[in-house]
Copies of this chain bind each other. A is one copy, B any other.
């Protein structure tokens, strides 16, 4: 119907973000997005919590991901196979392996984040006044 101005699109994005933040998780398109990267949902979830600059040890990742250390080995193997992450040596403790995203992994992560924040058609169709109203009221939920 009505076309969106850039300002409306930004608003729609923000409103959608407020709603999804409220829900904490929007595991929905997630399996499909994972499959698109040749990953299972668990491995994509892992990818989303990694960083290009900050190296995390395997044991720290077991804590982050609330899973067994042996499963961290398996998940990081999947990410390395896909070229999304790589293991590094720890500078001082030779027992420890750290994990960082590759450039490809960082790009995949930001693209998936963009998809997850993309408002659905029904939200984008709202006019500016409605979106402003939603933003105002939903902002109160942050308290």
Residues of A within 8 A of B (CB): 19-20, 22-28, 120, 122-123, 125-126, 130, 133-134, 137-138, 140-141, 143
Contact = CB atoms under 8 A, between A and B. Distances in A.
**Taking chain A's interface residues, is the majority helix, strand, or loop, or is none over half, making it mixed?**
helix
A143 B120 contact: no
17 contacts: A19-B22, A20-B23, A22-B122, A23-B23, A23-B28, A24-B28, A27-B27, A123-B141, A125-B143, A126-B137, A126-B140, A126-B141, A130-B140, A133-B133, A133-B137, A134-B134, A134-B137
Contacts of A23: 19-20, 23, 26, 28
Given A19-B19, A23-B26, A24-B28, 12 more contacts: A19-B22, A23-B28, A27-B27, A122-B141, A123-B141, A125-B143, A126-B137, A126-B140, A133-B133, A133-B137, A134-B134, A134-B137
Nearest to A123: B141
B122 A143 contact: yes
Nearest to A19: B19
Contacts of A22: 19, 120, 122
A137 B141 contact: no
Contacts of A120: 22
A19 B20 CA distance: 10
Contacts of A140: 126, 130
